[in-house]
Structure 1
């Protein structure tokens, strides 16, 4: 006999929003950054995918290998988590990262880069570059590495590539950006047009996070802080996903437009009705579709075998 609930089913996007708001709602002016980080990690910790996880130190940067069964030893995804450069960790993003590893069949090195305000720009970027250099020292070739990240982590994907290009070093095979935060000056029209639709981020919050990352005298138009203002010529192929409900949407769409104009191979998808980094919530059907698209892109650019039978 099947039990029928008399409760109205909650839309999975709205359920995800309530989950996020329950964390934000517990904070006030007196909540410490340390408490915020602890609350965020606790709210999103856990992993629904049974992957092998192993601690690593990537040239002194705390990291973790998340490895699916039968993953090739010579291919790697380097993942940078989001959180406005203030929150987030491997713990809060382990499920998302593990699902990327599982869907693509590729091992992932996730790193805990230094966070602001204790460690301001360019500390996070320095750690991202250190992790990439460490991968190279482990005999991973650039053509066998893809950089991936969400929100602030998407920023680091781009700024790491720009830094490597400036140094004359070989760039990774491609980049995956989920709701990338590319404009710390928050100039996009979506900061106004999506203010009502976005239940999570408002422009004032974004600017406060930017100030925390850059410091009082920091320049939000610095291309290594806001890659939207960089010369993007020569970057590898990029996959960019954003949600249509998020205020940060235009950070993705403006970047895609500029990258295409610079001759970069760009795949952009703006998902109707979706929120910031909706891929974190596996219960959202569109998140599953997005994950399949991400896996296909990764497998193509890492030249992996045909997708495994599920």
Structure 2
């Protein structure tokens, strides 16, 4: 797409969201961060991000086409899914590569993961810091990638908390609502083992946000005690793709994702369930009684409208939802070991300290 057309798309998005953001910023519910870098560094970063976005876009579309070619044979489709998941988890077929080197804290670490079956022994909430339950996004169909696992490790170090990377069943074999049910079971198991809900925070990136917030609604419906807060990175909260950012970002090189790939993943996850179901698309949920939510995203992200709508709905329903957004061209910027990611984690740490009952 010509640069002038891409610029026009950005202008359209700015016009559509600027006034809404201004209202949220005036109420101290949204804050814009600028990437701290010189003019040359910023220019290089944007060129690199544009190239990276285009490569990721090509990778995703290519994989989507291969998946569709195998859709006629159940055996071929299952084999393709198994191969893709193995390569994704090992890093061989990582969807979100990066041209930036990882920092020292991101090298060769194993994340603090702990599946449900290893939580059988009681662990009372006597730690000096809260526990964070994390769901890594993978379009509902992929396990956590190596880069996401490294990010979870860096997050744990930055906020000085135990962060548990929670597994869940994957679509299309296990469609909605299997994933939020699995996550709810992990949370309730921890509570049964002695962890106070006030000592637990929920967190997720991208598609994981739908899973976590779906589980939160299920917990609320069942009358369970809710966690202390929720932290979301580049959250995907609208599986109907109704926000303007889905259209404008799909038409530009500013985002690595397009509506086709998002619609494909949503279809595999939802099957015949409506995309506007609040348990799947939290932008349509009543947020009354929810714990505080912190959202970190980029103003160039395809899911940016989801963040705005979550904050607007939170204001309407009396739920504290705060957005911190960056002028970064990167999707899920925390996956990179950069100063911007470190800044994001510092804000997460402040949020946890502010809302954790055990913080002095």
Task: Give the TM-score band, short-chain normalised.
Answer: 0.7 to 0.9
Structure 1 gaps of 5+ residues are 1-8, 64-70
Q: Does 1:146 align with 2:194?
A: no
Of 159, 173, 176, the match for 1:118? 173
CA distance in 2, matches of 1:94, 1:113: 15
Q: Does 1:36 align with 2:81?
A: no
Of 235, 246, 262, the match for 1:206? 262
Contact 1:72 1:107 in 2 (8 A): no
What corresponds to 1:107 in structure 2? 162
Secondary structure, in 3 states, of the residue corresponding to 1:275?
A: coil
Q: Does 1:185 align with 2:240?
A: yes
Of 297, 300, 309, the match for 2:351? 297
Q: Does 1:266 align with 2:314?
A: no
Contact 2:202 2:230 in 1 (8 A): yes
What corresponds to 1:158 in structure 2? 213
CA distance in 2, matches of 1:305, 1:51: 28
What corresponds to 1:170 in structure 2? 225
1:40–1:51: structure 2 CA closer, same or farther, 3 Å change rule? closer
Secondary structure, in 3 states, of the residue corresponding to 1:208?
A: helix
Secondary structure, in 3 states, of the residue corresponding to 1:108?
A: strand
How many matched pairs?
Answer: 287
CA distance in 1, matches of 2:348, 2:329: 16
Q: Using CA pairs under 8 Å that are at least 6 residues apart, name the structure with larger relative contact order, 1 or 2.
A: 2
Larger Rg, first or second structure (1 or 2): 2
Contact 1:175 1:236 in 2 (8 A): yes
TM-score (normalised: structure 2): 0.72
Secondary structure, in 3 states, of the residue corresponding to 2:243?
A: coil
Contact 1:75 1:140 in 2 (8 A): no
**How many Å apart are 1:154 and its aligned residue?**
1.3
Give CA deviations for 1:112-164 in whole Å, capped at 9, x if unaligned.
21110111001101110011011112211000000000011111221111111
Alpha-carbon RMSD? 2.8
Structure 2 gaps of 5+ residues are 1-42, 68-79, 120-125
Contact 1:148 1:177 in 2 (8 A): yes
1:181–1:25: structure 2 CA closer, same or farther, 3 Å change rule? closer
Contact 2:64 2:261 in 1 (8 A): no
Q: Does 1:235 align with 2:290?
A: yes
What corresponds to 2:28 in structure 1? none
Secondary structure, in 3 states, of the residue corresponding to 1:83?
A: coil
**How many Å apart are 1:255 and its aligned residue?**
1.2
Give CA deviations for 1:216-250 in whole Å, capped at 9, x if unaligned.
x2211111111111111010000011211122111
Q: Does 1:56 align with 2:114?
A: yes
Contact 1:191 1:247 in 2 (8 A): yes
What corresponds to 1:286 in structure 2? 340
1:274–1:72: structure 2 CA closer, same or farther, 3 Å change rule? farther
CA distance in 2, matches of 1:150, 1:188: 18
Hey, which of these two has a bigger chunk of strand by percent?
1
